[in-house]
């Protein structure tokens, strides 16, 4: 089973590699669902780590409907990731009616030719997951990251399992959100070939400073090691 760690910092990325994780999804601002990391952070991770790095391409928080200008920013970010040596990108676009924006998503896929493309958890906002899954299969996307349209993947495991059967190896279904030591084997036993988690540990609060509001934890190396041991 492939274990992908959602790393929100250089320290988290290093912890993931040291613990034996198979791949990293690099992002920032997990509190809002993740945003595109800075070019300098991407460069540092790519230059100092050797495991595959996929970069989240999401220019802002909020919905997944983007303007033409935002799409251009996203395509430029993908081009940057390709040129610097990233193994893949993680992105996706919806229409206002909560269906897959096939035209815009195809533009991002074409920008990413040569590296992996994962459709991210925008999928968990769609109104019809099975039709949307067929859309992604038609687009020849490699994988979709999803919690089964629920707050956590363990709550959505029934739909995820159904999607996995329908996919029939045409697209990889990668469960993510709330996967931890207590439930990771449920996903392995259901036949999923990959999982996505952050394994974060919240830092101790040392002050009530305004600037520390929403402080995010870092991926915990010991937790990742235990998960790797369980699924190996």
Low-confidence ranges of the chain (pLDDT < 50): 207-211
Is there a contact between 119 and 92 (Cβ–Cβ < 8 Å)? yes
Predicted pLDDT of residue 201 = 78
Q: Give me the residue label for tokens 């830092």.
A: 203
For 17, half-sphere exposure in the C-beta direction (CA atoms, 13 angstrom radius) is 14
**Length in residues, the chain:** 232
Sign for the pseudo-dihedral over CA of 133, 4, 125, 192: positive
Q: Give me the residue label for tokens 């993740």.
A: 34
C-alpha pair distances (Å), 128 with each of 123, 135, 185, 214: 9, 11, 28, 33
Tokens of 229: 């041991």
Is there a contact between 175 and 1 (Cβ–Cβ < 8 Å)? no
**What's the whole-model pTM score?**
0.93
Predicted pLDDT of residue 177 = 96
CATH code at 2-203: 3.20.20.380
Predicted pLDDT of residue 24 = 98
Distance, in Å, from the CA atom of 192 to the CA atom of 130, rounded to the nearest integer, reads: 17
Distance, in Å, from the CA atom of 39 to the CA atom of 26, rounded to the nearest integer, reads: 11
Is there a contact between 195 and 231 (Cβ–Cβ < 8 Å)? yes
Domain ranges for the chain, please list them: 2-203
C-alpha pair distances (Å), 131 with each of 24, 128, 146, 150: 29, 6, 15, 17
Q: Give me the residue label for tokens 């949307």.
A: 132
Q: Give me the residue label for tokens 């859309």.
A: 135
C-alpha torsion 59→60→62→63, nearest 10: -20
C-alpha pair distances (Å), 37 with each of 27, 128, 143, 169, 193: 5, 30, 21, 31, 27
Q: Please state the φ and ψ torsions of residue 192, each to the nearest 5 degrees.
A: -70, 145
């Amino acid at each position: 089973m492939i274990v992908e760690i959602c790393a929100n910092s250089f320290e988290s990325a290093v912890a993931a590699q040291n613990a034996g994780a198979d791949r990293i999804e690099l992002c920032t601002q997990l509190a809002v669902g993740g945003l595109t990391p800075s070019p300098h952070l991407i460069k540092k991770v790519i230059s100092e780590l050797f495991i595959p790095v996929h970069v989240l391409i999401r220019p802002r928080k909020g919905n997944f409907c983007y303007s033409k200008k935002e799409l251009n920013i996203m395509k430029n970010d993908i081009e940057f990731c390709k040129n610097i040596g990233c193994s893949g990108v993680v992105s996706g676009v919806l229409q206002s009616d909560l269906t897959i924006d096939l035209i815009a998503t195809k533009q991002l896929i074409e920008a990413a030719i040569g590296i992996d493309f994962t459709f991210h958890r925008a999928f968990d906002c769609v109104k019809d997951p099975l039709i949307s899954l067929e859309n992604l299969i038609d687009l020849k996307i490699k994988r979709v990251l999803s919690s089964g349209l629920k707050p956590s993947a363990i709550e959505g495991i029934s739909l995820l399992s159904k999607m996995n059967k329908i996919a029939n190896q045409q697209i990889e279904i990668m469960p993510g959100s709330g996967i931890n030591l207590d439930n990771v084997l449920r996903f392995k036993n259901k036949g999923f070939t990959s999982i996505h988690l952050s394994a974060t540990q919240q830092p101790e609060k040392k002050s009530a400073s305004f600037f520390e509001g929403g402080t995010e934890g870092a991926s915990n190396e010991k937790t990742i090691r235990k998960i790797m041991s369980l699924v190996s």
